[in-house]
């Protein structure tokens, strides 16, 4: 098969390190009858090891040349969806009659330029997802899994942790890819909560509160969300209005959001 030339516009960095692939398979721990979907299969570094285990695999791929190469492998267990993952409806992959019994398991080496919007797109379908294992920029994985009070904790941390339990699994260096990216990578596991400890009454309002609270990191809650809540209202929740957003827990943001929703 002719050597494939990667395309910058798709942010392609293909994983080739067998030790990383095997470690990732071990972390995913796939079972034959589970419903798997891979985003951005590339040349199949993870795709074909998965197909050795599972009964069927859906893949979502936008690059027509990559699709042709996957089709040439002629694997009856593989279904290719030639679309942009950002606009793909992942609900269609589950047999509705089986939806209550089985959920999707999502994997992928995500292009760094679309990783955050793609994760948010998937979170819209979190009720049908069992877990997600992604290769991402190391810095992004650190931000998603950050704890309150750390320098990397911010809007992305709060929004993803509201929907999912987050785990930093392991580091992956640039030499594991072709071509090597200019940044380090890491493996992230996201497991949507079966039941949230606190539910936002209005999730759009919750998102707005989080965005506003982190709009100017050096300013306090009193200043950042004064158009939404007064200092007295913030204090009524047992939260100090003189604190910065970076020290608040996800639950704190839910409480702030719900107080606004209740006011309305």
Q: Which of 190, 166, 185, 183 has its CA nearest to residue 20?
A: 185
Please name each of the domains of the chain with its CATH number: 8-192 (3.40.50.150), 203-263 (1.10.8.100)
Confidence of residue 9 (pLDDT cuts 50, 70, 90): very low
Please tell me the predicted confidence (pLDDT) of residue 101.
67
- Dump pLDDT digits (tens) for 132-157: 999 999 999 999 999 999 999 999 99
pLDDT by residue (tens digit) across 201-230?
A: 999 999 999 999 999 888 999 999 999 999
pLDDT for position 11: 47
Residue 164 near residue 192 (C-beta atoms within 8 A): yes
Burial class (CB in 10 A: 0-12, 13-18, 19+), 138: middle
Q: State how far the Cα of 26 lies from the Cα of 247, in Å rounded to an integer.
A: 35
pLDDT (average), residues 32-61: 94
- Percent of the chain scoring above 70 in pLDDT: 92
Say what percent of the chain tops pLDDT 90: 74
With beta carbons less than 8 A apart as the criterion, state whether 257 and 248 touch: no
- Residue 32: pLDDT band (50, 70, 90) is very high
Structure confidence by residue, pLDDT tens digits, 88-101: 999 999 865 454 56
């Amino acid at each position: 098969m002719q050597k494939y030339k990667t395309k910058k516009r798709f942010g392609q960095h293909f994983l080739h390190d067998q030790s990383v692939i095997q470690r990732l398979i071990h972390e995913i721990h796939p079972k034959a009858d589970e419903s798997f979907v891979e985003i951005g299969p590339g040349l199949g570094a993870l795709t074909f090891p998965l197909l050795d285990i599972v009964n069927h695999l859906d893949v979502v791929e936008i690059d027509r040349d990559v699709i042709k190469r996957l089709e040439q492998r002629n694997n009856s267990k593989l279904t290719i969806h030639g679309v942009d993952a950002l606009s793909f409806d992942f609900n269609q992959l589950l047999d509705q009659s089986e939806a209550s019994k089985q959920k999707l398991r999502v994997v992928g080496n995500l292009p760094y330029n679309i990783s955050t919007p793609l994760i948010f797109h998937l979170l819209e379908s979190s009720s049908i997802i069992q877990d997600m294992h992604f290769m991402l920029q190391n810095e992004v994985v650190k931000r998603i899994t950050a704890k309150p009070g750390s320098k990397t904790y911010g809007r992305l941390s709060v929004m993803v942790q509201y929907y999912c339990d987050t785990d930093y699994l392991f580091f992956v260096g640039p030499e594991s890819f072709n071509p090597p990216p200019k940044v380090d990578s890491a493996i992230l596991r996201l497991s949507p909560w079966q039941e949230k400890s606190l539910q936002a009454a209005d999730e759009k309002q919750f998102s707005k509160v989080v965005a506003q609270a982190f709009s100017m990191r050096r300013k306090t809650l009193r200043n950042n969300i004064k158009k939404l809540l007064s200092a007295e209202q913030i204090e009524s929740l047992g939260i100090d209005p003189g604190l910065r957003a970076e020290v608040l827990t996800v639950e704190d943001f839910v409480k702030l959001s719900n107080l606004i929703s209740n006011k309305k």
